[in-house]
């Protein structure tokens, strides 16, 4: 099945580069291009892409606002948003994940990494494994944004002990393969536990599962190192 992609970026040259790269793959296709967040929302409703490749900084409606609108739209609940940004803008990325984004990449990402990222979020996984992302999560996602509900520890009661264990390891930034090695099980078994936990907790994807893990207290943030 072909993964349908919507590009949202105000830089025409960057959009053209991404389109050529994505359309060169048999399993990927660019279905539309947006120059700002408002247009991204409108085109997502028209074309129903599988993945929206979203820049944060755009004129008018920015990528954060557009991400929140797309992820909150019941008709677009199965769509994934992949944020393009720089790791230096940590708080922006945290807001995007809170809004429902499935992951993010730096704009200096390589071609293969970008294509793999699109495939990863399209199948319901999230880009939450790099060390920079792990630091971001522990720094910002442990405290909910104003007005957002905190996931209560009681919500984890529906999970089995193994599901909680797998969820905690995922929240620490481990991939399915790394979790499988640590627990001495197969990656397929880990993936099954992750998806069961997502279903029980009504998490749209792995990113939201990680947010719940921190906000519920299942995983505690690592204290910052003392200055030398």
Residue 81 tokens, joined = 């948003």
**In this structure, what is the dihedral angle of CA atoms 84, 88, 91, 93, given to the nearest 10 degrees?**
20
Residue 52 backbone class (left: φ over 0; alpha: ψ -120 to 50; beta: rest): beta
**CB under 8 Å to 169, separation ≥6 — which residues?**
178, 179, 182, 183
Tell me how many helices (H) and strands (E) the chain has: 10, 5
What pLDDT shows up at residue 98?
74
**H or E stretch at 215:** helix 206-215
What pLDDT shows up at residue 224?
47
Over the chain, what is the mean pLDDT? 82
pTM score of the predicted model? 0.70
What is the average per-residue pLDDT within 12-27? Answer: 95
Q: Which residue has the higher pLDDT, 144 or 131?
A: 144
What pLDDT shows up at residue 140?
56
Neighbouring-strand partners of residue 85: 106
8 pLDDT tier (thresholds 50, 70, 90): very high
For 117-140, what is each residue's pLDDT tens digit? 899 888 876 665 444 455 555 555
What pLDDT shows up at residue 56?
87
What pLDDT shows up at residue 214?
79
Q: Which residue has the higher pLDDT, 49 or 178?
A: 49
Q: How many CA atoms lie within 13 A of 207 on its CB side?
A: 28
Tell me the domains of the chain and their CATH numbers.
3-127 (3.40.50.2300), 130-228 (1.10.10.10)
What pLDDT shows up at residue 104?
78
Residues 156 and 164: beta-carbon distance below 8 Å: yes
pLDDT at 6 over 50: yes
What pLDDT shows up at residue 67?
92
pLDDT at 142 over 90: no
pLDDT at 32 over 90: yes
What pLDDT shows up at residue 109?
80
Q: Which residue has the higher pLDDT, 222 or 80?
A: 80
**H or E stretch at 137:** helix 131-140
For 69-101, what is each residue's pLDDT tens digit? 998 898 887 889 998 876 545 567 667 777 788
């Amino acid at each position: 099945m072909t993964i349908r992609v919507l590009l949202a970026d105000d830089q025409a040259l960057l959009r053209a580069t991404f389109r050529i790269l994505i359309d060169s793959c048999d399993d990927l296709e660019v279905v539309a291009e947006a120059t700002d967040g408002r247009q991204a929302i409108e085109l997502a409703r028209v074309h129903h892409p599988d993945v929206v490749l979203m820049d944060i900084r755009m004129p008018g409606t920015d990528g954060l606002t557009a991400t929140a609108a797309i992820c909150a739209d019941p008709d677009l609940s199965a769509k994934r948003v992949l944020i393009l940004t720089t790791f230096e803008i940590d708080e922006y990325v945290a807001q995007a994940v809170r809004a429902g984004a499935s992951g993010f990449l730096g704009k200096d990402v390589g071609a293969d990494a970008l294509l793999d990222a699109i495939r990863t979020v399209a199948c319901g996984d999230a880009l939450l494994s790099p060390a920079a992302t792990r630091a971001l999560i522990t720094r910002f996602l442990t405290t909910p944004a104003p007005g957002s509900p905190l996931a209560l520890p009681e919500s984890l009661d529906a999970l089995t002990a193994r599901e909680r264990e797998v969820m905690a390891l995922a929240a620490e930034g481990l991939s399915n393969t790394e979790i499988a090695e640590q627990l001495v099980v197969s990656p397929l078994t880990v993936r099954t536990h992750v998806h069961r936990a997502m279903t029980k907790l009504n998490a749209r994807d792995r990113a939201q599962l990680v947010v719940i893990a921190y906000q519920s207290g299942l995983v505690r943030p690592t204290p910052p190192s003392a200055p030398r």
